[in-house]
């Protein structure tokens, strides 16, 4: 009988193997979820993927131990696999910015980057007396505006030259810089913030020479 064959196989599982699967298949995902619930951390989708390889065997082992699975025909397993994959694809689409359902975790999915780039670009060029060569500040805002500005400025991530080796301090001194941020990220000391909305400001750091080079 299939059921009789399953029990010896489950009982023959070595305790170390069982502990290994639980430790690597279930504990990391549970810990990541707990961190998100307890601290409100901005969890990345890829954080748990390294452990999913062990998650399925761990879940199967738990089910076999409880005799919930004796013998699953291949065609039924295939149908279940297709259903699960369909649900995963539907969930991925529903939580993406393109779905329009508002379930996306992206904080910039509804950010009107083209609108704000047009509004900020004109006065920023006047203040810089030239094109916007560098834009810095909060990374997600700066990068969203950078791809909308016709100059395609370099992005200085969080104003950090170490995190942005493609931008040099000399380049900023020569061409100046457009700073952007939100209500929780104040502008650098000495710069005046111009508010475009309740949660978006911009400021200009003039070139050291007083005029940006072409």
Q: Along the 214 residues of the chain, how does pLDDT read in single tens digits?
A: 444 444 444 455 677 777 888 888 888 888 888 888 888 777 776 777 888 888 888 887 777 655 555 566 778 778 888 998 899 888 888 877 666 666 665 555 556 788 889 999 999 999 999 999 999 998 889 998 999 999 999 999 998 999 899 999 999 999 999 999 988 888 888 888 899 887 889 999 999 864 444 5
Distance, in Å, from the CA atom of 57 to the CA atom of 46, rounded to the nearest integer, reads: 20
Query: What are the helix (H) ranges across 40-179?
Result: 52-65, 74-94, 113-128, 139-146, 169-175
pTM, rounded to two decimals: 0.53
Distance, in Å, from the CA atom of 76 to the CA atom of 159, rounded to the nearest integer, reads: 55
With DSSP H G I counted as helix, E B as strand and the rest as coil, what are the percentages for the chain, rounded to 5? 50, 10, 40
What count of other Cβ atoms lies within 10 Å of the Cβ of residue 67?
11
Under DSSP, is residue 36 helix (H, G, I), strand (E, B) or coil? helix
CA distances from 102 to 33, 95, 99, 153 (A): 22, 8, 8, 30
Whether 100 and 147 have beta carbons less than 8 Å apart is answered as: no
Q: What's the confidence (pLDDT) of residue 108?
A: 52
């Amino acid at each position: 009988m299939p059921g009789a064959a399953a029990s010896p196989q489950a009982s023959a599982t070595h305790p170390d193997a069982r502990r290994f699967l639980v430790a690597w298949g279930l504990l990391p995902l549970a810990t990541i979820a707990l961190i998100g619930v307890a601290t409100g951390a901005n969890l990345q989708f890829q954080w748990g993927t390294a452990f999913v390889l062990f998650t399925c065997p761990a879940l199967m082992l738990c089910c076999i131990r409880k005799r919930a699975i004796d013998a699953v025909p291949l065609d039924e397993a295939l149908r279940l696999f297709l259903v699960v994959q369909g649900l995963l694809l539907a969930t991925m689409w529903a939580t993406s910015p393109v779905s329009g359902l508002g379930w996306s975790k992206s904080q910039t999915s509804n950010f009107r980057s083209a609108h704000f780039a047009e509004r900020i670009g004109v006065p920023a060029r006047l203040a810089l007396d030239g094109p916007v060569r560098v834009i810095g500040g909060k990374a997600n805002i700066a990068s969203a505006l950078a791809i909308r500005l016709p100059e395609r400025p370099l992005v200085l991530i969080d104003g950090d030259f170490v995190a942005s080796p493609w931008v040099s301090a000399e380049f900023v001194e020569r061409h100046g810089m457009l700073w952007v941020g939100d209500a929780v990220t104040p502008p650098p000391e000495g710069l005046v913030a111009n508010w475009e909305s309740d949660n978006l400001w911009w400021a200009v750091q003039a070139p050291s020479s007083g005029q940006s080079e072409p």
